[in-house]
Amino acid sequence: MNSLHRYLTSINPSNPKAQRLRGYLLDCISGKSTLPTYSGKINSSALATKINCDRQAFYGHRGSKELKDIFSALLVDGQELITASASTPRPQKANTQKTRTQEDKPRKNKSPESRKKRNIPSDHLQLLSTISQLELELARNKQLRMDVLSGKIIVL
């Protein structure tokens, strides 16, 4: 979490959605807010709702680079924040009695296949995070190569 905090305090995004995500994550780190999770993983839909955007903005070519970079940093370095949010007790609902219609409804048996489908987005998130990091590294390496070829950097 220290590296995530350091990263978030070192950047100043120009994109409004990235600014809101940065501010929300800093609030989560300070304990003012909790990170939305589901089954011990980041709930990107709920997180997007918290910062007033669509969850698709975190992936692909739909959102700003700043927003995707912050989200990737959260996926890579935010495990302690996820664990802390998961251990925070949730407030209980006032009325916990079941109505007659709820009692009469048969429960659906969850098959292993349906459980696997829930796990796909998390794996997808990790792959997207890795791709984003590799793209950043590739851009840095391209710049270094151009500097070497242009003579700005002399290799001995």
pLDDT in tens, 90-107: 555 555 555 555 555 555
* pLDDT given at position 118: 52
Mean pLDDT rounded to a whole number for the chain: 77
Residue 14 lies in a domain: yes
Task: Note whether 37 and 86 are within 8 A (CB).
Answer: yes
pLDDT surpassing 90 at residue 121: no
16 is a domain residue: yes
Residue at 13 is within a domain? yes
- Structural domain contains residue 108: no
Instruction: Please list, residue by residue across 22-61, b when 16 or more beta carbons sit within 10 angstroms of its beta carbon and e when fewer do.
Output: bebbeebbeeeebbbbeeebbbbeebbebbebebebbbee
* Number of separate domains in the chain: 1
Whether 100 is in a domain gets the answer no
pTM of the model: 0.55
Is 94 within the bounds of a domain? Answer: no
pLDDT tens-digit map of 2-50: 788 888 889 999 999 989 999 999 998 888 888 888 888 888 899 999 9
Residue at 102 is within a domain: no
Is 96 part of any domain?
no
Domain extent for 82: 2-87+118-150
